[in-house]
Amino acid sequence: MSITNETANLHQNDPAVLCCLRNKGTIISASDLEDPTIVPDLRESGLLTIPEDALTIGQVLGATLKEDTDAMTSLTPDLLDGYSKKTEGSAEIRSSEPVNTGTSQSAGVIKFSISNVQGQIELPDGLANIGLPFTAPTVEKKPEDKIIRTLTQKEFAVQKVCMGTETSFNHGILTLRRDLCADSLKADPLVKAAEVDIIPAEDRHVYANTIMDVMPIATKVEGLLGEGVTHVMSGVVIMLTGVDEKGVQVHEFGSCEGYLDENIRFGRPGCPDPEDIIIRVNVTIQENTGMERRGPYAAHKACDAIIQEIREVLKRAPAEACTKQDVFHDWKRPGKPRVMLVKEIMGQGAMHDNVLLPAEPAGVEGGQRNVDLGNVPVVLSPNEVRDGGIHALTCIGPSTKEDTRHYFREPLVNLMAEDDEINLVGVVFIGSPQVNDEKSYVSARLGAWAEALDVEGAIVTTEGFGNNHIDFAENIDQIGRRGIDVVGVSYCAYQGQLVVGNKHMDAMIELNKDPEGFENEILGDSTLCPEDAERALLMLKTKMAGIPIEPANRQWQQEVIDANQQLIR
């Protein structure tokens, strides 16, 4: 398959291989050459050998074949006359040109646009005596970073959780009302039963139904989501599990029921930490509703009703009981490169859905689901994300899905929001619909957002793998085609290899943590971790600085990731 002149220019340093039989005397052009992107495959399959003295595409263009030569032949000096000894760079030396400045062309002033400092400027005699109209450079005042929003999260450590006659939180002991579960059924008629039990850190070998989510317990005390004061319980998380009345797991494909110590990568952003107490809420929903949107949503609503009663006592926790306080700011950093973070979320229905901006942190009530919003991109401030602005309905268990706790402590949001070299203008959540036309529709809106926000750089992440990688590629393309530097972040490795691509996907971060590159069914294992976030941000800064990024290997190699990680430490 021959290539175009544009492709030949992009691959000037790649080996030149004839695509078809060419006769003696042929002057080599792009149309005589094989596509360099498939050359590695041809070499792997043994169809092609590249000798040491092989010439590059840049060297052979315009050269003349000395003899009739077969297709799939790597061009070497003995086959060509007039090839270049050395590939010439594509950098053009442009001469300085006068600039037409319209009305500003005042008498006696000639302005030059200087694009390259080479050669010399000769001035006529006498000009030196009249003085050149240079003015002292004005010292520009460096614009200062401004805080536009402040969020204070006050942590209250929980040492023990037990059941009792009423819900309370005193001296680090959280007591849950025994009738809480029965009352939670009022949240949705599809919920037929709910049970709560407490799983301490020292006893993790506990069997559980499919894990539907892991959530923090947090509540607003002052202000709206993303600002004011939030109380958070530390040392405890809520885990939602579920089945239907027939005993069918509320799962996506192949439920992840099993023993918690085997199914969870403790310590990941979206998982319980090793010392956390787990409050398990196990919900039974109406039979055969597990794969419809209403079934899983009902389970989340019932669980949220239980958490809300805990939130009410957490709101009243005395200030002196606070064990830690974190202050987060939303910044405006004028003068710094404007960047945005794009988080692609699932949007195909059932548990592939997310509640955006609920009334309470990581809650359900008061929010809107991205499927209902047509999966179009929605912008949140970094503080809104960090204050529980996303409640994930995603059926987790697979190692690549992001749950509610993941968004609550999203490493890339935290890193980019605090980095004072960039101006993070917002976090954009975009859903992933099923059909390609719908994917294109929402991706195009993302491109419009990038343009409207006037960003210079962007990082696009996606959870999961599969056909959402089509949106992922298109989201990157929509941003990249507007001249914006963009970095992609996803699990791909062996099993989730990308099925589409484009020229803007030249800076990618791999999230895989499984030695074999598989979806290993361990909760949170291959999700975005702090070290991945650091690689992604450094990759973006590198690209924005114009430093060339080496092309990725054709196949996933952990060694490349490890080497990149070393650059950060």
Partner 1 sequence: MDYELTPKLLPGKILEVTEREVKVTLKGRMGIITVPLRCVLTDQPLHVGLKIQVYLSYIQVV
Question: Which residues in this chain contact partner 1 in the complex, by CB under 8 A?
Answer: 251-256, 397-398, 436, 466-467, 470, 494-495, 497-501, 518-521
Q: How far is the CB of 495 from partner 1 (least distance, A)?
A: 6
Q: Which is nearer to partner 1, 221 or 498 (CB)?
A: 498
Q: Which residues of 383-412 are buried (b: 16+ CB within 10 A; e: fewer)?
A: bbbbbbbbbbbbbbbbbbbbbbbbbbbbbb
Asked if 196 and 209 count as a contact pair (C-beta separation under 8 A), the reply is: no
Bridge partner list, 276: none
- For residue 387, give both structure tokens: 């204050």
Distance (Å, whole) CA 490 – CA 469: 9
Closer to partner 1 by Cβ: residue 2 or 467: 467
- Of 349 and 466, CB closest to partner 1: 466
Which residues, 6+ apart, have CB-to-CB distance to 249 below 8 Å? 209, 210, 242, 243, 255, 257, 290
Q: Do 432 and 347 contact (CB within 8 A), yes or no? A: yes
Between 264 and 362, whose beta carbon lies closer to partner 1? 264
Q: Which is nearer to partner 1, 216 or 397 (CB)?
A: 397
Instruction: Determine the Cα–Cα distance for residues 433 and 440; give it in Å rounded to an integer.
Output: 9
Question: To the nearest 10°, the Cα dihedral for 15, 21, 24, 30?
Answer: -50
Which of 181, 256, 271, 395 is labelled catalytic? 395
Residue 275, helix vs strand vs coil: coil
| Catalytic residue list contains 395 | yes
Question: Minimum CB separation from partner 1 for residue 493, in Å?
Answer: 10
User: Are residues 178 and 259 in contact, defined by beta-carbon separation less than 8 angstroms?
Assistant: no
Q: Which is nearer to partner 1, 495 or 565 (CB)?
A: 495
Cα–Cα distance measured from residue 136 to residue 418, given in angstroms and rounded to the nearest whole number: 36
The rounded distance, in Å, linking the Cα atoms of 84 and 87 is 7
DSSP-derived letter for residue 86 is S
CB of 560 to partner 1, least distance (A): 19
- Please, what's the b/e burial string for 52-76 (b: 16 or more CB within 10 A of its CB; e: otherwise)? eebbbbbbbbebebeeebeebbbbb
* Min dist. Cβ of residue 498 to partner 1 (A): 8
Q: How far is CA 423 from CA 258, 328, 453, 475, in A?
A: 44, 15, 12, 21
Query: Which pair of structure tokens corresponds to residue 394?
Result: 């995603």
412 or 473, CB closer to partner 1? 473
Alpha helices in 409-480 (DSSP H): 411-418, 436-453, 468-480
CA pair distance 562, 510, nearest whole angstrom: 11
> Which residue is it, tokens 């990731």?
561
Which residues have a catalytic role annotated? 395
